[in-house]
Structure 1
């Protein structure tokens, strides 16, 4: 190659000015976690650079980058990382983009990136991290936590507990009655009962996970106190003379979510004054919610039906947390997070039978809902028995969207369920052979669970019991995991759970253990995950797009091969004639907090000629037409799908696509649409007589992929067919309406068709 004279000098100058993305400006930077208040170690990743806080774009961000960030924040390791502003959109500059780390760097600033402030991202792409709860030894992390809604600031009273005194209270689980003890500056103190009020008791019970306090006669406790003071072998008299033994005075109004929000005098006004003259420790008795009571029918609120607005929590990782949904006008809907605070969140928690709220979460922290948004600007005093008694506005007037769905985390009673189950032999603490502690011949013994009939519902209960979230896999064979040597015996078999139990011991199981396969490699196992997807069908779209088509057989060869037609099509004179098809579009949203991914790897995907792409899940939906009595009238077929992000809300990027053998799945917040004009997107009703029917779609029918909520996987419509036309109405997911509304709809249809 011949170069003109002087061109080498030009090339040298260009090389000198060329700068590759590199580890530039290694000035120390500070990190913090932002977003709605959550467990320690997770949130939106924010960086302090040149005196301004900014965010990190999720482009190129991976587990190695999360590991570096978590270590810099003072944690031992990263659990995972999040994309698409999972913890809400940040503010200010986006300081880092295309971050590439090896995993061993000491600071995020040492990783390769585009350069400070050089980014083509928006705040809908803010990255987040989830770090392990363990701190690095001797580490004083430089991380700070940005302000969060629902945070209790200035805590002087850190924890509260009840010390059981009576024998029956000591045997109770959870502990519901005893002397109040609070932790102040790292030391436990008794609270003086002088001027102790029932409002104080209400706040203490709320912090301990109980919805209400109970009046108690303390005269017997006073006798025990006086007896101990006179006992020469007791140290109580000496201790009670010290002011450091007491918290002098607490004055709560009863609406506070935490004792630290109450006016507190730890010490008396003057050092010479005794903190609790002639007093004793305050005694509190709490009433548990229905889920934590022995027996049934106890503890139900007797509130006026007109004011009692039913509430529920959805998509939470643990019991007592989730997206808040309320039942208004017969339909479930969400609550907008405008002015959402701990007072309103505590009303929800108490109404559900839990304690006060630990956190009031904003920004769809527990995933986005689907359907109406019923309430906005909710203002509660904290004494209401139901969210319906609080002041609120209709969300339609405030321009709320599901990106602003409110959520809560509630205080829960300590049940000690976690100590009754464990996982052994897994590669990490979130997986392994299930081992349970049960009484065997009068003694508590650890043992294995028979793997026969073990399924996702049972695995869900185990993961919830351990506080590990949701089950991603339920394993009936665990030959690659070695259980504990002291738990080789099978002590539980035939386990059948509804999936909502708080502990495996609450599920149905065999009386005498019966496990023909034995234990060992046929023991039950689980894999748990903190986040899970949640698929919900768009019922309104089905109702709007349903129509009939008489399709010539000449256009149905491919569909016939894939068994998308009724069996009577086999006996027709092909290609002459037609089939009558009930066509519709299906749109399936992922409202969970994790991407929905197929269970099978690429090697197991099947090519579908009709759709001209690979299907990653062979049985993804069931399409059925039922009589009003529930029997099938049209041969419903099992539709298989290629999963992709057909569309995403503004600010989220499509990450999965079927074309070119691409990665398949449905991202958080996105949806997969199968249009009405695609082959097999129908039910063949050629042989169906005119009448009224129920049209039903079941998503993920075999529960092949774990979800946070299976109760919304069924979509039903009322369907009327006169032989020439079809009317679809009343389409709803199985949990969209209240039970009374659904039963009323079904009753009317049955009466209209002379069905008793």
Structure 2
């Protein structure tokens, strides 16, 4: 080859040799995105762009630390959870990363360890997905003096001035302060409006602003200006002490969305020459008002007419799936067109502030009931959601995969500083230690583990803001507690599960702990997400029937105690038992897989049926009289928890074949057919009449869930001795109280029961 022709190739080779090798300090530039179901929110299949080509990430070794790095790189606060097995559908292109290992401190997924770019043995059925937490963080613009721009994500607080206000929890009255560029500033009251007060109160978790006479505050201001020992006069002459003006409409969900003006327009002049600081008074919702006291200011406005609303399946106070009561039945709201304005109306209606987040795509789980509302449009001034414009959901084609949810601003109560977890491997677990008054002084101590249960653990996890309780521990010998909290200061704790703090639960006056604390102190394990089991009530109603089954076919069921006690005295194998049989379909509508607490090594082998029981009592079946007396019962052990089918094309993860892992994946369901053993109630000894048929899933709360109120199915039942009729089947929280009372009244009238 001629020398002239070889020179270009030699030059290229030389340039490649002289190019510096990439180092760990210079990771390759990548771009991330979320694709698939939930793309409009904070979740989806994780895809990354490397060398100009989009690809996916394998779920092998992927964990919450890697998810947190990815979510921060996408612009969110962090990660809520992650999902495996192509939960959000299968991607295309290369699988760029496999066996991703992050410590959680990296600024980019490219800085984490892995097998290398494009080195993977994964298929797209293993594509990983993430659910990010918090809003998409905006980049704060720099505000020049005199500019009137949309504010960045500002912090706001009320600084109490009066003695009673300093002692109140939450703080409801005082001076408005805004943190801008790392410094707390006061807002000039010149031009301060009621709309500004409404937005400030909403941002701080209060549903309403109260009337406030500022003349007393004006007198205090003037006195401080004349006081030679006060620095207020000097500070108030500095423009950095002030924010000149806010121009809120009153519908903004956060003060940072109001136009603000740092200084007057035109030539430089004092920001607040003759004014003082703006003051507000907020009215807390009923949940945050002290018992037997009323909020200062004007009383709460008379409730507007409209459908009731509630939140379900939220880990924290003021968050959850939005449900509306229409025609006596609770139903959901379609998340299409769901925004902060509509979400704020819901939050204020429930006694919270404005909305922090308006969530779509069933980010707080799905419902099995009806969907009532779609295309909800609110101005922000409405008092109840029913005053907003909307259309019937049946006309929209919207499904439960788009159920709307909210996270509301709630007042700062300081409850998180009254409890802590010690000795655990992570901040989400450990020995429960509480701060309570002892002999006139506040003291840290442990909680007696006797009778400690999941309800109490749920309150602790909520109080700390770390999600749901996954386990309640009555023994914590493996977790060393704090040295200053060795004494038991709380015992006999009994919680309903809805309290805002553990100190609000019932407990002993004088401490009485038979176990003595120490290794028997109470502990908890918390989790950010949880499953939510709901039974298909309609299927129970449609599949119920009677069968007279010979005893010769019931020996195994008898061994597993699936028959009434009278079966023990029969002349086996002669005779029969009358069984009320039905099918059950149990859906996991939560945000995590439902898994038995016990591992496979602890499952119980049942020789007769030749299978393992992963949960000894998975469901209770009861036949009750109209006044609640149990006349027949049954139970079902979870001998095979698996994914029978899934919503939205999600992949099934659990199967019982070959001693496989058991569980119910999120968005999947497990079906127990009517023709398998113990899927019945033995009603051989039941007299004809009207009854209540009841099914309870996870009755012992052996596995934690995000919502236990929907674990019960009840049906009206009439038995004439030969036939049975089942009707009006519903989950326990599906109807309003008025509809349930009508049902009970009709049942009592039907049997002349007083």
TM-score (norm 1): 0.88
Partner of 1:275: 271
For the 8 Å contact 2:78–2:132, the answer to whether it is kept is no
Three-state SS of the structure 2 residue aligned to 1:291 is helix
State the shift of 1:74 in Å.
Answer: 11
Partner of 1:378: 376
1:552 & 1:399 partners in 2: Cα distance? 48
Give the counterpart of 1:510 among 496, 508, 511: 508
Give the counterpart of 2:634 among 633, 636, 639: 636
1:751 & 1:154 partners in 2: Cα distance? 63
Partner of 1:82: 83
What are the within-5 Å matches in structure 2 for residues 353-432 of structure 1? 353-432=351-430
Range with greater deviation from structure 2 (156-165 or 197-206): 156-165
2:745 & 2:300 partners in 1: Cα distance? 29
Partner of 1:15: none
State the shift of 1:30 in Å.
Answer: 3.1
Partner of 2:145: none
Task: Specify whether residues 296 and 32 from structure 1 end up closer, same or farther in structure 2 by C-alpha distance, changes over 3 A only.
Answer: farther
1:679 & 1:500 partners in 2: Cα distance? 37
**Which whole-Å deviations, capped at 9, do the CAs of 1:503-556 have from their partners, x for residues lacking one?**
011011111111122121111111111111111111111001101111222222
1:53 & 1:155 partners in 2: Cα distance? 35
Partner of 2:169: 173
For the 8 Å contact 1:43–1:130, the answer to whether it is kept is no
State the shift of 1:54 in Å.
Answer: 5.8
Task: Specify whether residues 513 and 63 from structure 1 end up closer, same or farther in structure 2 by C-alpha distance, changes over 3 A only.
Answer: closer
1:603 & 1:457 partners in 2: Cα distance? 28
Task: Specify whether residues 157 and 79 from structure 1 end up closer, same or farther in structure 2 by C-alpha distance, changes over 3 A only.
Answer: closer
State the shift of 1:640 in Å.
Answer: 4.0
2:293 & 2:171 partners in 1: Cα distance? 20
Partner of 2:49: 48
What are the within-5 Å matches in structure 2 for residues 29-178 of structure 1? 29-31=30-32, 45-51=46-52, 55-56=56-57, 58=59, 61=62, 66=67, 81-83=82-84, 95-96=94-95, 99-101=98-100, 107=110, 111-112=114-115, 115=118, 121=124, 126-128=128-130, 155-156=151-152, 158-178=154-174
2:261 & 2:68 partners in 1: Cα distance? 44
State the shift of 1:243 in Å.
Answer: 2.0
**Which whole-Å deviations, capped at 9, do the CAs of 1:207-266 have from their partners, x for residues lacking one?**
000000001000000000000111111111111112222111212121111122222222
Three-state SS of the structure 1 residue aligned to 2:646 is coil
For the 8 Å contact 1:622–1:698, the answer to whether it is kept is yes
Partner of 1:21: none
State the shift of 1:154 in Å.
Answer: 5.6
1:722 & 1:369 partners in 2: Cα distance? 35
Partner of 2:692: 694
State the shift of 1:632 in Å.
Answer: 1.1
1:75 & 1:329 partners in 2: Cα distance? 39
Give the counterpart of 1:645 among 643, 646, 654: 643
Partner of 2:529: 531
Task: Specify whether residues 206 and 421 from structure 1 end up closer, same or farther in structure 2 by C-alpha distance, changes over 3 A only.
Answer: same
Runs of 4+ in structure 1 off by over 6 angstroms are 36-39, 70-79, 116-119, 144-147
Range with greater deviation from structure 2 (220-229 or 180-189): 180-189
State the shift of 1:311 in Å.
Answer: 1.0
1:315 & 1:690 partners in 2: Cα distance? 39
For the 8 Å contact 1:163–1:180, the answer to whether it is kept is yes
Three-state SS of the structure 2 residue aligned to 1:672 is strand
Range with greater deviation from structure 2 (278-287 or 296-305): 296-305
1:196 & 1:70 partners in 2: Cα distance? 38
2:89 & 2:180 partners in 1: Cα distance? 36
State the shift of 1:669 in Å.
Answer: 1.0
2:258 & 2:575 partners in 1: Cα distance? 79
For the 8 Å contact 1:311–1:352, the answer to whether it is kept is yes
State the shift of 1:188 in Å.
Answer: 1.7
State the shift of 1:301 in Å.
Answer: 6.0
Partner of 1:225: 221
Task: Specify whether residues 44 and 322 from structure 1 end up closer, same or farther in structure 2 by C-alpha distance, changes over 3 A only.
Answer: farther
2:71 & 2:137 partners in 1: Cα distance? 13
Task: Specify whether residues 463 and 489 from structure 1 end up closer, same or farther in structure 2 by C-alpha distance, changes over 3 A only.
Answer: same
For the 8 Å contact 1:156–1:185, the answer to whether it is kept is no
Range with greater deviation from structure 2 (310-319 or 407-416): 310-319
1:343 & 1:548 partners in 2: Cα distance? 52
Range with greater deviation from structure 2 (258-267 or 725-734): 258-267
Task: Specify whether residues 329 and 607 from structure 1 end up closer, same or farther in structure 2 by C-alpha distance, changes over 3 A only.
Answer: same
Task: Specify whether residues 73 and 738 from structure 1 end up closer, same or farther in structure 2 by C-alpha distance, changes over 3 A only.
Answer: closer
**Which whole-Å deviations, capped at 9, do the CAs of 1:181-230 have from their partners, x for residues lacking one?**
11223222111111211111000000000000001000000000000111
Partner of 2:262: 266
TM-score (norm 2): 0.88
State the shift of 1:272 in Å.
Answer: 2.7
Task: Specify whether residues 374 and 70 from structure 1 end up closer, same or farther in structure 2 by C-alpha distance, changes over 3 A only.
Answer: closer
Three-state SS of the structure 2 residue aligned to 1:161 is strand
1:75 & 1:365 partners in 2: Cα distance? 15
**Between Structure 1 and Structure 2, how many residues are aligned?**
711
Range with greater deviation from structure 2 (667-676 or 45-54): 45-54
State the shift of 1:723 in Å.
Answer: 1.1
State the shift of 1:623 in Å.
Answer: 0.6
For structure 2, list consecutive stretches of 5 or more residues without a partner in the other structure. Answer: 1-26, 140-148
For the 8 Å contact 1:421–1:435, the answer to whether it is kept is yes
What are the within-5 Å matches in structure 2 for residues 553-592 of structure 1? 553-592=551-590
2:753 & 2:623 partners in 1: Cα distance? 17
Partner of 2:306: 308
Task: Specify whether residues 36 and 432 from structure 1 end up closer, same or farther in structure 2 by C-alpha distance, changes over 3 A only.
Answer: farther
Task: Specify whether residues 215 and 102 from structure 1 end up closer, same or farther in structure 2 by C-alpha distance, changes over 3 A only.
Answer: closer
Task: Specify whether residues 68 and 393 from structure 1 end up closer, same or farther in structure 2 by C-alpha distance, changes over 3 A only.
Answer: closer
Partner of 1:209: 205
For the 8 Å contact 2:101–2:113, the answer to whether it is kept is no
Give the counterpart of 2:185 among 189, 192, 207: 189
Partner of 1:285: 281
Partner of 1:13: none
For the 8 Å contact 2:82–2:128, the answer to whether it is kept is no
Give the counterpart of 1:731 among 729, 735, 744: 729
For the 8 Å contact 1:59–1:98, the answer to whether it is kept is no
Three-state SS of the structure 1 residue aligned to 2:713 is strand
Three-state SS of the structure 1 residue aligned to 2:436 is strand
State the shift of 1:398 in Å.
Answer: 1.0
State the shift of 1:99 in Å.
Answer: 2.2
**Which whole-Å deviations, capped at 9, do the CAs of 1:140-198 have from their partners, x for residues lacking one?**
xxxx9799xxxxx9643611111111111111111111111112232221111112111
1:69 & 1:252 partners in 2: Cα distance? 35
State the shift of 1:64 in Å.
Answer: 8.2
Residue 675 of structure 2 is aligned to residue 677 of structure 1: yes
Give the counterpart of 1:713 among 698, 711, 714: 711
State the shift of 1:604 in Å.
Answer: 1.6
Three-state SS of the structure 2 residue aligned to 1:650 is helix
Give the counterpart of 2:339 among 332, 338, 341: 341
For structure 1, list consecutive stretches of 5 or more residues without a partner in the other structure. Answer: 1-25, 134-143, 148-152
State the shift of 1:745 in Å.
Answer: 0.3
Partner of 1:4: none
Partner of 2:11: none
